[in-house]
Structure 1
Amino acid sequence: MARSPLRFTPFHLAGAVFLLAGLVLAVYHGLMQFDLVPRLGWVSWSHIHFVTIGGFTQLLFGMLPQLTAWKLDRPLPSKYYDWLNFTGLNGGFLLLWYGRGWGQTWAFDGGLVAIWLLVAGLLVVMLRMVMQSDRAWNATTGLYLVSVFVFLWGITYAYGLFSHVWEVPGGWLGLREAHVHANAWGFLGLAAIGTLYDLFPRLLGSDLYSERLRNYSAWFFVAGIFPLITGPWIGMGRTVTATGLVLFATGFALYLYNLVQTYWSTDSRSGIALSVLVAQFWMLGPAGFAPFVLFGVKWVDPGYIEDGALHFFFVGWALPIALTGLLLYFPNLPALREGHLDVDHIPGGNIPSVISTWMVWVWNIAIVVVGVGFFYQDQSWSAYLFGPGYTALVILWLYELVQAFRLRWTLQTDPETTTESGLY
């Protein structure tokens, strides 16, 4: 069976819009820290979740079924399935956001249940593809399935965090930690890692350095994620959670080594590839600081460590990957209407040259500056770190979003880049 080209879905547009909304909320949240705007309690929670549940999850919902079908030589899900998921996910997210921000339990519960059912449906669709495919599924497909399964756990934990607080051995903080591990490292992390194993070599026009390391790392990831999402809430951080951390970190070290060797094995260089590679090192931030919290080593307030770790994960690691996905797929995938680009996995040789090396340096230096500010946020001088750091991040964040829309518009208005074959 010939592989179906990937297509543009409403999730891709929504992902871009949510990342833009997350940018606006992040700016507002930063201004709140300096008492320059009125304080709104829902902004702190929203600006993170507009990037994660909003931007990243939109892109994954749009891409995971297609990438799984592409790898397994299965037909793409129908456009009706895309629209059903799109409407349900965003309706659920709006209910969730309204319920969490304004204390409406019924809305929070309704949104959470809707999202849980849609994620379960996504898992069933992907499992059916695996069962019906004659192609041997590999580490990437396995990571996709595990990531969606773990996301169900994370959503379930959210139910016990807000609307119906659960009494668990690890307490509310332990349940929240398990929720973050499931959604961030489990869902976002494993899905992105599985995709980058395929995508990163293509950015360089090369092959992955080692398929064996890829398979080994996948098993370590799977073995590590389940202790990470159970240890905190059962109150066994120094045993179960720590074991999961070691296993997950081992898998990540193998994964990172594989990407670095892939990068150095070719003379091809691009700003996008460098941005993706450097972003991987920020995953080490949360993993590196976790032992200080687990074993009670206090060099700064544990809450400040958590703030910094979340910053390194979401802004240092997740956001550059989401923006890269947007730059690669958003401008190039065929539209839902008839005119479209005839593409495969990613456009062959059509990698946007919109990220320069100096931008990668500025972005990552700003990540360090803001991260240090989080660790010492009780000091008056931290404002001198937050100000320039956030300014640089916001400017580059906005720049990449604008470039994604510009590239999309250019391709849709250039008659030489479209075809009317009507395959969709």
Structure 2
Amino acid sequence: QGWSTWLQIKVPLEVHIHANNWGFMSLLFAGLLIDLYPSFTGKSLAWPKSPTRIFWMMTLGALGLILGPWFEASIFTVPGIVLHLSATIWLLLNVVKPLIGTGELSTPGILHLVTAYFWILAPVMMAPLVLLQIPGIPGPSIEQNAPQALIYGWALQFGFAIIPLLLRRVFLPDSPAKLGGNWFSLIAVHLGGVLLWAGIFLNDSQTALHGAAYGLWFLAMLPIAYEIWQIISTAMGGLQEQESLPTVAEAGD
């Protein structure tokens, strides 16, 4: 509370969450998606000149989402939501449009990347209802639990697709670019998000639903962990073969 008091931050927890999620991770993930997209699709973005505008829309949107709870003023929050939401939708359209009709949109890796953004958009879409204090909308419970669905449904799921891709580039540079994930990881991670949000609204069953959500997220990680192990073990096997080649050559001489 020391820094928050000195900086006169009205709602420190929200400022912290918004700075990390909307400010840091959103920009990082957008940059990775834009930079890596041609490598795993073989295509350009639908609007190749749009990344600069998307960057500034996300940056200014994040600033509004940080200043809103900082000063407890919706005059910053509302424009921030609009800018960030618009930039995110534009980013996703950039990704999806070139793949329509190619069949790639029905692969687990692409679906991990695209559908992960539902879990960052869900709290944004709920924000006006919370701000307006609509009856039946459990504002405090949403503010407390929605970040978990955002982290595990969005950030973790984005990593499911991107981390194996990056590891292949490092350890297996000659192999085709391939996003991580399979149908089990895709279904399990989304079911976890659904159960966590269900627990927000069904308070009497919240503990059981949230426990099941975390269990599903753990299970969703298992195929990804196995995929990463396969990548590293294949790379190590290749290194061992290379090390044995000089020995074989010397024996032949």
Instruction: Answer yes or no: is the 8 Å Cα contact 1:225–1:248 preserved in 2.
Output: yes
* Structure 1 residue 278 displacement after superposition: 1.1
The answer for the alignment partner of 1:411 in structure 2 is: 235
SS at match of 1:208: coil
1:178 equivalent in alignment to 2:15: yes
SS at match of 2:117: helix
What SS does the aligned partner of 1:221 have?
Answer: helix
1:177-202 alpha-carbon deviations (Å, 9 max, x no partner)? 11211111111111111110222343
Q: CA 1:265/1:193 → structure 2, altered by over 3 Å: closer, same or farther?
A: farther
Matched, 1:258 2:90: no
The answer to whether the Cα contact below 8 Å between 1:200 and 1:273 also exists between their aligned partners in 2 is no
> In structure 1, how many angstroms separate the alpha carbons of the residues matched to 2:98 and 2:242?
33
Take 2:56 and 2:135, find their aligned partners in 1: how far apart are those partners? 33
Cα deviation for residue 212 of structure 1 reads 3.6
Does residue 374 (structure 1) correspond to residue 200 (structure 2)? The answer is: yes
Q: Which residue of 2 aligns with 1:230?
A: 67
For 2:26 and 2:145, the matched residues in 1 are separated by: 18
1:240 is aligned to 76
2:5: which partner in 1?
A: 166
C-alpha spacing 1:202/1:239, structure 2 compared with 1 (3 Å): same
Contact residue 191 and residue 216 of structure 2 kept, 8 A: no
Q: Residues 312 and 367 of structure 1 are in contact (CA less than 8 Å); yes or no, is this contact kept in structure 2?
A: yes
3-state SS of paired residue (2:35):
helix
CA distance in 1: counterparts of 2:169 and 2:32, whole angstroms? 17
Unaligned runs of 5+ in 2: 244-253
Is 1:267 aligned to 2:103, yes or no?
Answer: yes
Equivalent residue letter for 1:364: H
- Give the Cα–Cα distance (whole angstroms) in 2 for the partners of residues 164 and 214 of structure 1: 34
Residues 1:399 and 2:223 are matched in the alignment: yes
Report the counterpart of residue 189 of structure 2 in structure 1.
363
Query: CA offset at residue 395 of structure 1?
Result: 1.0
CA contact (8 A) 1:411 1:417 kept: no
Once the two structures are superposed, what CA deviation does each residue of 1:93-130 show, in whole Å capped at 9, x if it has no partner? xxxxxxxxxxxxxxxxxxxxxxxxxxxxxxxxxxxxxx
Fraction of identical pairs, as percent: 24
Counting matched residue pairs gives 242
TM superposition score normalised by structure 1: 0.52
Residues 357/328 of structure 1: CA separation in 2 closer, same or farther (3 Å cut): same
More helix by share: 2
Tell me which amino acid in the other structure corresponds to 1:314: I
Retained in 1: the 8 A contact 2:181–2:223? no
Instruction: Tell me by how many angstroms 1:383 deviates.
Output: 4.1
What SS class does the counterpart of residue 102 from structure 2 fall into?
A: coil
Q: CA RMSD in A?
A: 2.7
Q: Distance in 2 between matches of 1:315 and 1:223?
A: 25
- TM-score normalised by structure 2 residue count: 0.82
Cα separation, 2, equivalents of 1:281 and 1:219: 21
Alignment of 1:32-111 (within 5 A): none
Instruction: Give 1:240 shift.
Output: 1.1
CA contact (8 A) 1:168 1:234 kept: no
Task: Tell me how far 1:305 sits from its aligned partner.
Answer: 0.8
The answer to whether the Cα contact below 8 Å between 1:323 and 1:401 also exists between their aligned partners in 2 is: no
Distance in 2, matches of 1:189 and 1:240, equals 18
Q: CA deviation at 1:321?
A: 1.4
Tell me, yes or no, if structure 1 residue 351 matches structure 2 residue 188.
no
CA offsets, 1:301-322, max 9 Å, x none?
Answer: 3221113421231011101112
The 3-state SS of whatever aligns with 1:224 is helix
